[in-house]
Structure 1
Amino acid sequence: MAKTRSDHLLYSLEELVPYDFEKFKFKLQNTSLEKEHSRIPRGQLQTAKPVKLATLLVTHYGEEDAVRLTLQVLRAINQHLLAEDLNSAIETNHSCQEG
């Protein structure tokens, strides 16, 4: 079974060490994609672990926008390699589904 965008998103969040995961959540509180999207409530973010955060992101923004936002935040906290890995996985997965 092919991995979904959500699977790749979760994997990226799980790869963050605890300090970087906390930085990710902090930066996420202050980042948004577009004006029509409201932010995830701070109280839900503060206690979220990777699985819960991935669920919140996908539920709140939809799979595609959740990945876009995750890429944006990963780059903002200098997790460029992890962002590139996520981007590559998503592009590879997308091209496999088209073929």
Structure 2
Amino acid sequence: MGKTLRDHIECALDDLQESSLKKFKRKLNEVEVEAGFNQIPRGQLERADVIDIADKIVNYYREEYGLRLTLIILEEINEKKVADKLQAATGTGDRPLPPQIPGAGGSGSGAGNAGGSGSGAG
């Protein structure tokens, strides 16, 4: 039985130092999410460990979208090596990252819908 995307997200988060994990949780709480998804409440992230965070990402955003958010946030907090490793492990290394998510910080002009078609999601 191979690793799931959730397992890969957990491994990536486990590679972060404590200060980077704290930044990741903050960004995860601040990021604007696609229509049809809700943000993870701040209180659920404050004391969450790596396993809890990975579970919440998948529960709130499902595996595919959760992976995209994780990759974007890792880039935003300057954890490119961890993002690259996650992309390689999940087979997404040959695909470019989706446009930056508004509200994720950083410099920029990002499209509002990371990889979606627009207005409605279900």
What TM-score range do you get, normalising by the shorter chain? Answer: 0.7 to 0.9
Distance 2:62 2:40 in 1: 12
Where does 1:74-85 land on structure 2 (aligned, <5 Å)? 74-85=74-85
Q: As a proportion of its length, which structure holds more helix? A: 1
Q: How many residues align?
A: 92
Distance 2:10 2:19 in 1: 17
Give the structure 2 partner of residue 95 of structure 1. Answer: none
Pick 1 or 2: higher relative contact order, CA cutoff 8 A, min separation 6: 1
Task: Give the AA of the match of 1:66.
Answer: G
Percent of residue pairs bearing the same amino acid type: 39
SS in 2 for 1:86: helix
Aligned-residue offset at 1:32: 3.0
TM-score w.r.t. structure 1 length?
0.88
Task: Give the AA of the match of 2:49.
Answer: K
TM-score w.r.t. structure 2 length?
0.72
Distance 1:83 1:46 in 2: 22
Distance 1:63 1:89 in 2: 14
> Contact between 1:37 and 1:61, CA under 8 Å: does it hold in 2?
yes
- RMSD, matched Cα: 1.2
Unmatched 5+ stretches in structure 1: 93-99
Q: State whether structure 2 residue 16 is matched by structure 1 residue 6.
A: no
Unmatched 5+ stretches in structure 2: 93-122
Distance 1:84 1:53 in 2: 20
